[in-house]
Amino acid sequence: MTKPTIRDVARLANVSISTVSRVMNAPDTVIPSKQERVLDAINELKYKPNALARGLIYKKTNTIGVVIPDIRNSYYADIIRGMEDASKRFGYNLIICNTDHDRQRLYSYLNNFEERQVDGILLTSEPISSDYHKELKRLRMPVVLVSTHSIEYELPSVRINDEQAAYDAVAYLIQSGHRSIGWIGFDLSDSIAGLTRYQGYIRAHRQAGLPILQENIRLLRLWSDDSLDAAHALFLQNPSLTAVFTASDELAIGLLCYLNERGIQVPEQVSVIGFDNIRMSRFTIPKLTTIAQPMYEIGYRSVEKLHARIEGLEDPVLREYLPHELIVRSSTRSIE
């Protein structure tokens, strides 16, 4: 037995397909007599509305495409949870795609979003190049940037102030008496988590009148580079560091492992601060001091912002910054 369609309902009720759609989605726009006929036909046929068919009629599929650069990175877990909860509130479904920082995969997913006629796109942690922006303009879909932003292009975004957050972390170490502070971060070509957090590290040193030494800095070319190797290279460059600030909690956890393997005590000999406040940061030994990003709120707010653009609602803040917080745990200490 074939599944009944909206066309079957319209035929049995002796109305148009658009009338059936209005009864299901905007019943106040249909006169009571036609409503009754349509509802009787739906019950008789046991018709269940097809989301795709409804989308074709209303030019809305109630789906959002989400681009994640590395789904293995635990940073994205709470962001996706926030997106999911907000999407449920507004009646959207999420299509989550992992690019592994591969530009060809990214463009392939964007084409897939176009074919599926998603209502909008959430792009996380990816810099927006001119070619990338040109492709987004071609799609003519609402877009919100998540944990990233674009100064060059007028694209709405939700993130924290990474430069200020990094400054706060290093300033805390300086206030705690540290003068030889290492930095393990991402390559400065990474305008999202690399350059901005490096600039915060530099500003804190300059404001305190401390020299900026290249031997105190180790940059990873890729997010996937081994954090243990980075820690080893940093301490080869300067074994007298009393504190290290890292661009992510994953890097900090790798650093804790390295220091433990070398018998270097944390925080008695070296203080460590991470960035993000992922769930595992509370379970390291010692527990990790870190900059907390409101990951859940970033995800939730990004969907609210995208929904406003999809519906043509007013959203006065283009580039939105949510507050960060320094969480002090037991991986740092003051020194004389």
162-292 and 6-58 share a CATH fold: no
Return the CATH number of 162-292, one of 3.40.50.300, 3.40.50.2300, 3.40.50.12780, 3.50.50.60: 3.40.50.2300
Is the pLDDT at 103 greater than 60, yes or no?
yes
Q: How would residue 46 be classed by pLDDT, with cut points 50, 70 and 90? A: confident
Residue 297's SS3 state is: helix
What whole-number distance in Å separates Cα of residue 166 and Cα of residue 186? 13
Separation of alpha carbons 67 and 125, rounded Å: 9
Instruction: Show me where the domains of the chain are located.
Output: 6-58, 63-160+296-322, 162-292
Task: Judge whether residue 25 has pLDDT over 70.
Answer: no
The model's confidence at residue 130, banded by pLDDT at 50, 70 and 90, is confident
- Which CATH topology does 6-58 take? 434 Repressor (Amino-terminal Domain) (1.10.260)
> Contact, 212 vs 202, CB < 8 A?
yes
According to the model, what pLDDT value does residue 187 have?
A: 87
Which residue from 178, 139, 175 is spatially nearest to 155, judged by alpha carbons? 139
Helix axes of 130-139 and 103-116: crossing angle, nearest 10 degrees? 10
Q: Are strands 157-159 and 143-146 parallel, antiparallel or unpaired?
A: parallel
The residue among 96, 142, 139, 131 whose CA lies nearest residue 115 is 139
Structure tokens at 78: 């709470």
| DSSP secondary structure code for residue 50 in this structure | -
Superfamily of domain 63-160+296-322, CATH level 4:
Response regulator (3.40.50.2300)
- Please state the rounded mean pLDDT for residues 13-28: 80
